[in-house]
Structure 1
Amino acid sequence: MTVELRVLQPSEWDNWYEGLEQAFGGVRQASERRELIRELTDPTRAIAAWDGAVSVGSAGSFGFDVTVPGGSLVRMAGVSEVSVAATHRRRGVLTSMMRRQLDDLREWGEPIAILTASEPAIYGRFGYGVASWQLMCEIDTSRVRFAEPEGPDGITLRRVRPADGLAACEAIYARTVPERPGMIARVPGWDRLQIMDSAEDKAGGSDLQCVLAERDGETVGYTLFRNRPVWDNAGPKGSIQLTDLYGLDPAAYSALWRFLWGIDLTSSITSQNRPVDDPWLHLVSDVRRCDVRTWEGLYVRLVDVGTALATRTYRTGVDLVLEVEDAFCPWNEGRWRLSGDSKGAVCERTADAADLVLSVRELGGAYMGGISLSSLAAAGLVREVRPGALAQASAAFGSDVAPWVPHNF
């Protein structure tokens, strides 16, 4: 049997998406979510693998603007909808789709690809490096105190229906996007995905709830959450499932956390995705009882090394030659001179001797400023040729704010 790769046709979407659902467990999504994803999917960016009339593989991407170190928004491909049917494993289907996709992204002039992985072992061989971590927690609010910053805050809280508060929430979100590498500027439709409230989203919890933080009539923060009521012989042990929380200043931020802490009949707050430098970590009385764990978040792949490195700024001045290894995208292989600082950068081909040698995977991992080149070198993944070059590069690539991708795509 021959597997054929081709660009998805709109009339094939249902067949293609059913194959994707089957690969991710075979549970059909709620019709509302399915239709919204159909609306968000650009068929010209989707690759379909077919065995006759059967969809046996998929690989898509969304065109996003994403914040990079320095605060600029850069066009990136958000890789998603990747699957191979269990009946067609180890036949090169995934490799063929990744090859086709990266060739397309290069032709379209998109220098960077990003993704969040369902399985971490898959994408390293295609040049994707772990570029950020996300924090998961289960806070025992019955035993952990929340210490607010001192002083009057002037914050009032108002509960609204998520759909009614969506515009205000998205305005807050948009203001936070330039402040942290990895944040995605949401395009129309993605806002509605954030307040989807089907039975599968609730998973036994309440309807999605929204509370706005306001000061002098202006919205300065918001939180989205669900309440999962639980009772046992000792009484209520409900849990707050945190989806989103943003505050434009410490007062708004802490007021929203204080609100969640004090919801009646609950004894815990859980979250699956917060930044690793989230300020609440400094405001709790006992972090050990918060069950803090980390998970890899954003994966980054530099499609065009020169353009990608020139689109971000650098925390300290840098002038060095990187020798890049990239067998999957050989147009990136070779030596690149990177010169830049906090105002801008240039990255061009050079014949000069290398200062550092590394693969495109490690370069992608360090790109957002959350993974230290020195740490990668200590693992044997970056080789220093010129003494002092590693310290210079590691300082320059760093970010004062930890990169974070706030939601899947």
Structure 2
Amino acid sequence: MTTEAMGRTGSPAADLRILRPDDWDRWYETLLRAFGGVGETAEEGALWKELTRCERSLGVWDGDDPVGTAGAFDFRLTVPGGASVPAAGVTMVGVLATHRRRGLLTAMMRRQLDDIRAWGEPLAVLTASEPAIYGRFGYGAATFALHGEIDTGRVRLSVPEGTDDVRLRYADPVDALGSCEAVYARTVPLRPGMLARRPGWERVWVLDPESGRDGASPLQCVVAARDGEVVGYARFRVRPQWTDSGHNGQVRLQDLAAVEPAAEAALWRFLFGIDLTSSLTVRGRPLDEGWQHLVSDIRRCRLRVRDGLYVRLVDVGAALEARTYPAPVDVVLEVEDAFCPWNAGRWRLTGDAKGASCARTTDSADLALSVRELGAAYLGGVSLGSLAAAGLVRELRRGALAEASVGFGAGVAAAWMPHGF
């Protein structure tokens, strides 16, 4: 969660320091206030307190009062080629409305990126509540997600062979956590942008405060099994609605994962066919998810795209070496990075599907771009060619753009970040 709250008053003598565990409660209250002041349940607060890494979190204090917050989870991110790379998950960023426009956010971003570099983590990632903020700190939108409002009263779903062999059953969301997390873990290496969940994170997805249901049911879970093994799951809510002409209920999908196409199709077919409902709302799904090819009328799915994960290369050389490239690439990049000047200059990247190397060079540059565009292209979900079409990447050697665009691709699956943090 990230924001820079709005407001205006005089200038404080700000004290930026690492969060002490005894200060967490007031620090977190400051964050909630920066996000509008809506409270959370005791269960939610306790879990976020447990997950917070105080030694990786920062606070800005005006005298005895916390006025700014920032944190960084320690994640591992799947990159093209399937490697799991250390990445700082930037989160809980907020500045109180009374302390806006004093450089507090910039100071926290400066300290945080210095810290991440010192920790030896080549990447920083975040989900932005306000996308306009983070580009100036070198973060580029690297993944996008699909939202939809599917008219299940009119849209029909075809399913692949073997779907009828999958068995579905309702399960208590908490009791089924172990099986569901095992499925999720099997999907993590398959798609760039996926996050390996640290212990404790599985509980985030079964938090179910009534305030978050918006009139819908408590969280429900259905698991898919083949030969007694759980191979998929869906967690969702149902919001019953009635009109003079009959039922008009809505299914709201929270998350869905499966390790085989038939299980995935079985889960989607189930969601399409829940009694007394006529629509299915989906949020944050992969752009290339297979169900789109199984529906009878894609227009009645009312699809739209939204930005997802923002990526910042903290160490250009280490980050580019950490991934592989589906087509051979040999390119000299002229990188602009005013906020982290240790990245600025020329880098020679050579790589293929087996591995890569990236080192400083004095050779002539083939492409020129900022670290923001490099972050956007890093997971393969954004094309260097499309960035060049916007004037954000400059081709200095003829043919270099086409070669690098193919090489930077994601491979088989589109980049996708499955959940926020």
- The one of 196, 199, 212 aligned to 2:210: 199
- Indicate whether 1:72 and 2:107 are aligned: no
Which amino acid is the alignment partner of residue 130 of structure 1? A
- Indicate whether 1:333 and 2:348 are aligned: no
Tell me what 2:33 maps to: 22
Which amino acid is the alignment partner of residue 246 of structure 1? A
Q: How does 1:85-104 map to 2 (within 5 A)?
A: 85-104=96-115
- Name the CA distance, whole Å, in 1 between partners of 2:417 and 2:211: 22
Shift of 1:198: 1.1
- Name the CA distance, whole Å, in 1 between partners of 2:161 and 2:199: 39
- Indicate whether 1:401 and 2:413 are aligned: yes
Shift of 1:153: 3.8
Shift of 1:152: 5.7
Q: How does 1:374-385 map to 2 (within 5 A)?
A: 374-385=385-396
- Indicate whether 1:272 and 2:283 are aligned: yes
Q: How does 1:32-43 map to 2 (within 5 A)?
A: 32-43=43-54
Do the aligned partners of 2:163 and 2:263 also contact (CA within 8 Å) in 1? no
Tell me what 1:176 maps to: 187
Tell me what 2:269 maps to: 258
Do the aligned partners of 2:152 and 2:279 also contact (CA within 8 Å) in 1? yes
Secondary structure at the counterpart of residue 95 of structure 1: helix
Quickly say closer, same or farther: Cα 1:86–1:340, change in 2 above 3 A. same
After superposition, what is the alpha-carbon deviation per residue over 1:286-312, rounded to whole angstroms, capped at 9, x for unaligned?
Answer: 111111000000100000000000000
Secondary structure at the counterpart of residue 174 of structure 2: helix
Which sections of structure 2, spanning at least 5 residues, go unmatched? Answer: 1-11
Shift of 1:232: 1.7
Q: Percent identity?
A: 62
Tell me what 2:6 maps to: none
Which amino acid is the alignment partner of residue 122 of structure 2? P
Tell me what 1:142 maps to: 153
Tell me what 2:222 maps to: 211
- Name the CA distance, whole Å, in 2 between partners of 1:233 and 1:8: 56
After superposition, what is the alpha-carbon deviation per residue over 1:210-262, rounded to whole angstroms, capped at 9, x for unaligned?
Answer: 11101110111110000111112222111111011112111101110111111
- Name the CA distance, whole Å, in 2 between partners of 1:177 and 1:105: 23
Shift of 1:21: 0.2
- The one of 355, 364, 389 aligned to 1:344: 355
Shift of 1:200: 2.4
Tell me what 1:129 maps to: 140
Do the aligned partners of 2:162 and 2:262 also contact (CA within 8 Å) in 1? no
Do the aligned partners of 2:141 and 2:376 also contact (CA within 8 Å) in 1? yes
Shift of 1:201: 2.8
CA root-mean-square deviation: 0.8
**How many correspondences in the alignment?**
409
Tell me what 2:127 maps to: 116
Quickly say closer, same or farther: Cα 1:195–1:383, change in 2 above 3 A. same
TM-score by length of 1: 0.99
Deviating 4+ runs (over 3 angstroms): 150-153
- Name the CA distance, whole Å, in 2 between partners of 1:55 and 1:266: 47
Secondary structure at the counterpart of residue 167 of structure 1: helix
- Name the CA distance, whole Å, in 1 between partners of 2:329 and 2:279: 46
- The one of 39, 63, 66 aligned to 1:55: 66
Tell me what 1:249 maps to: 260
Tell me what 1:291 maps to: 302
Secondary structure at the counterpart of residue 174 of structure 1: helix
Shift of 1:151: 5.1
- The one of 162, 165, 169 aligned to 1:158: 169
Secondary structure at the counterpart of residue 235 of structure 2: strand
Shift of 1:158: 1.0
- Name the CA distance, whole Å, in 1 between partners of 2:219 and 2:160: 28
Do the aligned partners of 2:69 and 2:94 also contact (CA within 8 Å) in 1? yes
Secondary structure at the counterpart of residue 63 of structure 1: strand
Tell me what 2:381 maps to: 370
